[in-house]
Chains A and B, each alone.
Chain A
């Protein structure tokens, strides 16, 4: 780097309000707000109460899984087996229901099984030192295979209304589904975990530099194991929700959901290289994908165009910080006096 080191560097190049507002996360939220306003004004049917109900019900599994995924990606790892855990948990829940278990028992066993699935991933990544991409591509196939193998091409259906209402009913007369409360609570828990605990600091430290984290006393292995266990358990919880929402336990439930989750996490500003990310951005990313899909479907746009729009947004969100980072470096090189407006200590772009 060409940045002069013998010059006193100000602790912050920008006032606090700029640091809070001019971030990657706020940008996602701003785009979300624009998309919402534009859709409400121009898309017929978007401003109705049903939009909120369907939006929350549809994004719930993606948002749930995105919470632990944010932390996993922030360490520089990834968990691609999440959708298969959803399928396996769905099948387990269905089989337990068939065997006569109550809803809480069945849900608890499913979530524990999800935690075991996550622990297997975590042990292979943290203790055997294997790359998480390879490990979880393998377990993606393995867990999906188990799920489909257990139920074959059949489905378990006929869940009592009292069970399924918990997944689909609304709060009082409002358009908000009951599941909103669970989502809000879990978002709060994960936000605190990432941003207000030593554990969260360790997660980001691992993402910035594993070596440095280890030398500063972070138990890298244990942290990674915990994250994968959380990822498995929360995915399994999403599987229980999924089963009750659709009233059908099938081995192929939620196939391909992992890509939506990773897309939302990246769109929310979490660096795929690890080291940076914030939960409000990820919530924004999840909602943005949901709102774009909802508005475009209402306009009768085909699924292929919807995929193109969301895909483009994703590519732009990943590429833009790199481009911005490159520009910043070039500008700094061109102005050796330093101290340009973008040459602060923080480098949001993380484009290197």
Chain B
């Protein structure tokens, strides 16, 4: 008998914990039935990048007077988002804003949620187009290529030799960007010569070694563009401790936390990436516009996105955030991801 009562007592503790947690959650997510509720589902929780995008979503929600609830798995495995999408469907939330861990694995769940009346907006990482109403794209290939050339051109004074440090030789997005940059260099930047493209395989040590080799084989090199976060950080680390610091410009796509020390010590003047806070803000604005019926996801529709201005829905239900955001010494302290 004692055994059962001890276990029963333990169970009571667990259940009361659960219920306490329930009521805690209820207070935040509550509100009247008329309120518009948007569920924000990042790839995983505890990721600074997505904390920034959720902050943007919250900002948009406050301006619009809607409620945002962030839920998500603790690991970014392909199926882990499905229970959360199912839950959103059961709750009948008005919109789901999701960064997909897998383009197909969450498709069925999203379709079920949509058939229950939930609008689905993907951001940062898309699903196959038939599973969502809109995709808020953080950057276009042209935008990324143009912005990086603009940065390197400014930093080397518009002329001289540059090199590109890419990820792996068969990375589709990297190669698309490089091809666009080559075109644009030939047409718009005649004084700048691309002398070599090397591949660091998105490995820190390989990228570091390739940077060293580049600088030795091209003594007149004036700048390195690395359109990958691993590459730009490794290149900056090499240059920051070498005689080339201040002589050779390093730019590309990076994250503020990785690049902070190199911006502060002057190795890197400026680099680009989209702004995840703006991305979450725009995705939430788009979700609210879908819920309000202002747009349906058809190409050519327009909607107002608060402080970011007016946006137009493009082909395949894509909304483009805009030009990549430039991080430099003046603003890097405002970002933590």
Q: Do A and B bind each other?
A: yes
Contacting residues, chain A, for B26 (C-beta < 8 A): 299-300
What 0/1 pattern do residues 74 to 110 of A give for CB contact below 8 A with B? 0000000000000000000000000000000000000
A271 to chain B, nearest CB (A): 13
Given contacts A247-B104, A297-B83, A320-B6, contact A50 B14 (CB under 8 A): no
Contacting residues, chain B, for A308 (C-beta < 8 A): 17
A287 to chain B, nearest CB (A): 15
Contact present for B78 and A248 (CB under 8 Å)? yes
22 chain-A/chain-B pairs, Cβ below 8 angstroms: A27-B8, A43-B22, A45-B91, A45-B92, A155-B104, A157-B104, A246-B82, A246-B102, A247-B104, A247-B105, A248-B102, A253-B79, A255-B75, A297-B71, A299-B26, A302-B45, A304-B74, A317-B10, A327-B6, A328-B2, A341-B1, A348-B3
> B89: nearest residue on chain A (CB-CB)?
A50
B97 to chain A, nearest CB (A): 15
Tell me whether A307 is interfacial, beta carbon within 8 Å: yes
Contacting residues, chain A, for B87 (C-beta < 8 A): 294, 297-298
Given contacts A242-B79, A248-B104, A255-B75, contact A296 B3 (CB under 8 A): no
A42 to chain B, nearest CB (A): 7
A residues 273-319 near B (Cβ < 8 Å) are 292-305, 307-309, 312-313, 316-317, 319
Tell me whether A168 is interfacial, beta carbon within 8 Å: yes
Given contacts A54-B86, A302-B45, A312-B13, contact A248 B105 (CB under 8 A): yes
Contact present for B79 and A300 (CB under 8 Å)? no
Given contacts A303-B74, A321-B3, contact A54 B22 (CB under 8 A): no
Number of A-B contacts (CB under 8 A): 163
Contacting residues, chain A, for B90 (C-beta < 8 A): 45-46, 48, 50-51, 54, 298
**CA gap between A164 and B82 in the complex, in Å:** 16
**CA gap between A48 and B116 in the complex, in Å:** 13
Contact present for B7 and A27 (CB under 8 Å)? yes
Tell me whether B169 is interfacial, beta carbon within 8 Å: no
Tell me whether B28 is interfacial, beta carbon within 8 Å: yes
Contacting residues, chain B, for A255 (C-beta < 8 A): 75, 77
Tell me whether B84 is interfacial, beta carbon within 8 Å: yes
B313 to chain A, nearest CB (A): 26
A residues 26-57 near B (Cβ < 8 Å) are 27, 31, 34-35, 38, 42-46, 48, 50-51, 54
Tell me whether B129 is interfacial, beta carbon within 8 Å: no
Contact present for B29 and A324 (CB under 8 Å)? no
Q: State which of B3, B8, B13, B70 has its C-beta within 8 Å of the C-beta of A342.
A: B3
A residues 170-184 near B (Cβ < 8 Å) are none
Tell me whether A211 is interfacial, beta carbon within 8 Å: no
Tell me whether B69 is interfacial, beta carbon within 8 Å: yes
Q: Which residues of B pack against A, CB within 8 Å?
A: 1-4, 6-8, 10-11, 13-15, 17-19, 21-22, 24-26, 28-29, 45, 69-75, 77-79, 82-84, 86-87, 89-92, 102-108
Top 8 A-B pairs, shortest CB-CB distance: A324-B3, A316-B10, A300-B29, A246-B105, A248-B105, A300-B25, A297-B87, A320-B7
Most buried by B among A164, A299, A308: A299
A137 to chain B, nearest CB (A): 19
**CA gap between A320 and B3 in the complex, in Å:** 7
Q: Which residues of A pack against B, CB within 8 Å?
A: 22, 24, 27, 31, 34-35, 38, 42-46, 48, 50-51, 54, 58, 155, 157-158, 164, 168, 242, 245-248, 250, 252-256, 292-305, 307-309, 312-313, 316-317, 319-321, 323-325, 327-328, 331, 341-342, 348-349
* Interface SS majority for chain A: helix
**CA gap between A157 and B91 in the complex, in Å:** 29
B128 to chain A, nearest CB (A): 8
Given A300-B26, A303-B45, A313-B11, 17 further pairs, Cβ under 8 A: A22-B1, A31-B11, A34-B11, A42-B22, A54-B83, A155-B105, A242-B79, A246-B79, A247-B104, A254-B77, A294-B83, A295-B22, A300-B69, A301-B22, A303-B74, A308-B17, A320-B6
Q: State which of A256, A296, A301 has its C-beta within 8 Å of the C-beta of B77.
A: A256
Contacting residues, chain A, for B73 (C-beta < 8 A): 303
**CA gap between A166 and B172 in the complex, in Å:** 35
Contact present for A349 and B3 (CB under 8 Å)? yes
Q: State which of B8, B21, B77, B89 has its C-beta within 8 Å of the C-beta of A299.
A: B21
Contact present for A246 and B74 (CB under 8 Å)? no
**CA gap between A158 and B3 in the complex, in Å:** 53
Contacting residues, chain B, for A304 (C-beta < 8 A): 45, 74
Contact present for A38 and B15 (CB under 8 Å)? yes
Contact present for A303 and B72 (CB under 8 Å)? yes
**CA gap between A245 and B83 in the complex, in Å:** 13
